[in-house]
Structure formats: structure tokens, C-alpha cells
Structure 1
């Protein structure tokens, strides 16, 4: 019985290190410089009917890729949070157009409510448009799970992680560890 308790503790500690490493894996990645046909910007909640600080960081990173000529197309993905009249996609579109991105350089996916739906619905848009190479823009702590979701829905993406200067990372990394556990359990159950 004593050895079983030790094995459980070792497994829990090892699992904790793996989870923390997974949500920290993309923290120090450089901004990509290889040109791609598009960049998917994942939604990150709203503050009222305005972009949250996290969403602004993601949009600014996507905008930077667009302005540097790394991608000519921004694919905006995010639905309407519970009780909101406006979708994350609409807020992103308004924000980016106000900063000079023409409507023709934006593709909209306004129906998703979580990361898996973001990438599943966006995959359909990317395939229908014949877009081959895309970046995935999300926060570094979220990138590991987002890349797994993309792979699981058959969407090939390259990471373009955002490092937050406004979010409190211990909270968001712990929350992402729990989301990753939930995701792994749900995919095992399928």
C-alpha cells in the first residue's frame, strides 16, 4: 500500500511538471518571419461589447504580422459570449478595420464558443477558400492546446504565439492546465 501511494505521488508530480511545461512551451518563441497565406486570430472574450486586454494583444500581434507583409489575410474566429449581443469576431473586425486593415483582408468565423469550435469552423473556411499555409495567433500559454485542437480537426497551422504584458500569468497558466486536462480526458473518451 505504501508503494502505491508513492507511485501516485510521483505520477501526480510528473504530470504537474508536464502540464506546466506544456503551457509554458511557447513563451520565448520569436515572432514568425516566414510568409503564410493567412493568420487565424482566436477570440479571447469581451469586456462588455469591447475587446478585452487579452483580445487586444492577440489582434495587435495579428496586425503586426499583416503590416510586416508576413500574411495578407487575417482570419478572425470567435462567437458571441453568453448574454452578449456582439460577437468577438465583430469586435475584432471593427478594431482591425479602424487600424487600416481592409475588409477584403479579413475572413470572419463568428459562430464558435470554444477553442475546438474555433478551429473546426475555421478549418472549413480555410479549406473552402483553398488557403494552404496559416499561422495560429493565440497566447503562448494557450498555444499547446490550440495546436492539438487544430491537429485533431485536421487543420495544419504554424504557431505565432503572443506573450501577454497585461494578464496575470499564474492564474491563466493554472486555468489552462485545467483546460488541457479536460481536453485530454474528452479526447480520450471519444
Structure 2
């Protein structure tokens, strides 16, 4: 129930959808003589807000604390890496199956960096976590698609573990725990987007797995340049959607008791 409720809520609460909805609602209300001034004002305010949030670096300021929460991984070589956990969200599974070729999205670095790690740590297991659930039913699972791609580029199939039931970050941790016993886990790297890492680490800790964060897929730069305005409104709104969803996820998971802390720390 939590899964479906969160998906439906977020469809309407997504900032870009919400802003456009207010514009349309204002225009609709303005058709009434009695409420024309109110409707026009609502549409105007929503339009200005859309332009401002799309061009100003507000979304970068929201995303920055999440991406900087965990430092980039530096291996001191003191202990071996036993495994790599790759969280789904980087591949369009249905499109990949229909095209017969891997179709990645803007989080493709999750897959690319995992390939790099697979070669850097040739003895490490690779657990791919990602199912295919949707609000309207079961879709194509992402993990088997990525696993097939890994096998196709020469990664030993014996190293690959497929977890294809999870639909959420919380389920990623819960189902991954069925493959990894905490007391015998060793050192496992957790690969996901930097902005998603706080929530991911929180649920894995809650599940009893003390993973090592390996953040990738940064959306903001390392310099002060991330405060630059956007050239396109759509770029700013897209980043705003990502930031708002992640903050909402952190709060929702904390309230529901699914994470170890509101904003997990290193």
C-alpha cells in the first residue's frame, strides 16, 4: 500500500506537474466572471514561479547537500572488497528488451562505474538490485537486463547475483539482505546516485547491512559554479523534480521507520 500511495502522491506533487497544474487551473477559473481576477492572478503567479524555479539555481541548492553528504570512495587497500551492490534506476528495462540493446537513462553512471569496479576488483561479487513494479502492474525487471549486459561484455556470470523483486529503495535493502548475511558480509560497495545515497545508506543500515557508499551520477559540480542560472527552464525543473522527490523520500522513509536516520551521515 505504501508503494502505491507514494507513487500516486508523487505524480501530483512533482513540482513541474504541480506548477503547470496551477497555471491551467488559474486559466480555467478565469473563465468565470466572478472569479476572473483570482484565476488570472493564480495563473500569473504560477507562471512566474515556473520560470523562476526553472532558471534560478534553487534546485541545485536543494540537491547539493544530498550529493555532498557522503565523500567519494577512496580505497586505502587495507582490506579487500568482497562485493558490489548496484541499485537499479539507470536502465529502461522494457525499452532495452524491445530494442535488444541496453537503453540507459541519465543515471547511466551507476552501470558504467560498476563495470569499472568489476574490473578493479575481479574477485568481488556483483549484486544487481532492481525489479520492475509499476503502479499499473508488474513491468520488466531491470536487474536481469543489466546482468545480461554484464555477461555480454565479459564479466563472469558466476560473480553476478540478481535481485529482481524490489520496486523501492527500502525493498532494495530488504531483498538484498536475503543474499548477504550481515555477520558474514565483509566489505560491500553500494553504487547509486550521489543525491540518492543518503536514503540508500539509511535503509541498508536499517536492514543491518553496513555498506560502503560509492556515490556516482552527480548533478551538481564540485566548484561554486553550481550556483549558475540554468539556460533552459526544463533543465532547472528536471533537477527540481529530482531534488524534491529525494527530500520527500527521506522524510517519508523516516516517518515510516524505514531508514536509520532522517539524513544519514558518513
| TM more than 0.5 | yes
1:20-44 per-position Cα deviation (integer Å, ceiling 9, x unaligned): 5651224762464643100100011
Q: SS of the residue aligned with 2:215?
A: coil
Structure (1 or 2) with the larger CA radius of gyration: 2
- The Cα of 1:119 is off from its aligned counterpart by 0.7
The 3-state SS of whatever aligns with 1:66 is helix
5 Å-filtered alignment, 1:17-166, equals 22-26=65-69, 29-30=72-73, 32=75, 34=77, 35-44=80-89, 46-47=91-92, 48-50=94-96, 51-54=103-106, 56-69=108-121, 72-82=124-134, 83=137, 85-127=139-181, 130-164=184-218
Aligned length: 170
TM, length-normalised to structure 2:
0.56
Bigger CA drift: 76-85 or 37-46?
Answer: 76-85
TM-score with structure 1 setting the length: 0.76
- What SS is found at the alignment partner of 1:63? helix
Gaps of 5+ in 2: 1-61, 97-102, 220-234, 259-266
Distance 1:31 1:53 in 2: 26
| Cα distance in 2, alignment partners of residues 148 and 27 from structure 1 | 12
**Could you tell me how far apart the structure 2 residues matched to 1:152 and 1:129 are?**
15
Residue equivalent to 1:174: 244
Residue pair 1:36, 1:70 contacting (<8 A) in 2 also: no
Is contact 1:33-1:70 (8 Å) kept? no
- Separation in structure 1 between the aligned mates of residue 147 and residue 74 of structure 2, nearest angstrom: 22
Partners of 2:217 and 2:71 in 1: CA distance: 8
Task: Give the direction of change, closer, same or farther, for the CA distance of 1:27–1:53 in structure 2 (3 Å limit).
Answer: farther
Deviation at 1:68, TM superposition (A): 1.3
